């Protein structure tokens, strides 16, 4: 993972001094999007308005045979928790069936505990993140199988 930070740092420096405003790059399960904007107050200053790093394997290339399986992405960034506390049972284990509105996990953001609810009746196929892992907005966190 550290090699990606070094690469990202080098790409940011290179992009700052170029006329390119947007860069998308992906290889070996690493994806990076850089988008820069020129500050109106100081045209010599570059600020990056979007930096998105994704080091998980490309989920689109590993589609399930079952067309009812969908990727559920984090609705906000923060710390991912499988249960309300370390001694409690996880909200969503692989194989568990949930009804629409059941709590799947908690994401802590700015010291607020946000319950993430199931968007529809579903079965948990796979949890794609570890407990207490930091998740970015829109990061894939579950594979869900829709139950009709």
> What mean pLDDT is predicted for residues 77-90?
93
Residue ranges making up the domain that contains 105: 64-146
115 in a structural domain: yes
Q: CA triplet 126, 129, 142: central angle to 5 degrees?
A: 40
The pLDDT tens digits of the residues spanning 122-142 come to 999 999 999 999 999 999 999
Q: Are residue 12 and residue 42 in the same domain, yes or no?
A: yes
pTM of the model: 0.56
**Over the chain, what is the mean pLDDT?**
79
| First vs last C-alpha separation in the chain | 39
Q: Are residue 78 and residue 137 in the same domain, yes or no?
A: yes
* Residue that is written with structure tokens 């969503």 in the block: 92
Q: Are residue 87 and residue 32 in the same domain, yes or no?
A: no
Please count the residues of the chain.
148
Is the model's pLDDT at 12 over the cut of 60?
Answer: yes
86 in a structural domain: yes
The total of structural domains in the chain comes to 2
Q: Are residue 104 and residue 82 in the same domain, yes or no?
A: yes
Q: Are residue 141 and residue 68 in the same domain, yes or no?
A: yes
What's the rounded Cα separation, in Å, for the pair 11 and 110?
30
Query: H or E segment at 11?
Result: helix 2-16
């Amino acid at each position: 993972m550290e090699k990606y930070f070094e690469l990202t740092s080098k790409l940011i420096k290179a992009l700052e001094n170029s006329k390119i405003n947007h860069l998308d790059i992906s290889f070996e399960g690493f994806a990076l999007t850089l988008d820069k904007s020129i500050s109106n107050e100081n045209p010599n200053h570059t600020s990056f308005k979007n930096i998105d790093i994704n080091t998980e394997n490309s989920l689109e290339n590993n589609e399930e045979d079952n067309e009812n399986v969908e990727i559920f992405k984090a609705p906000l960034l923060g710390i991912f928790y499988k249960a309300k506390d370390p001694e409690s049972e996880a909200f969503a284990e692989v194989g568990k069936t949930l009804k629409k509105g059941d709590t799947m996990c908690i994401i802590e953001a700015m010291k607020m505990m946000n319950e993430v609810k199931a968007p529809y009746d579903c079965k948990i196929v796979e949890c794609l993140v570890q407990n207490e892992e930091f998740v970015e907005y829109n990061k894939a966190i579950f594979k869900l199988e829709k139950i009709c």
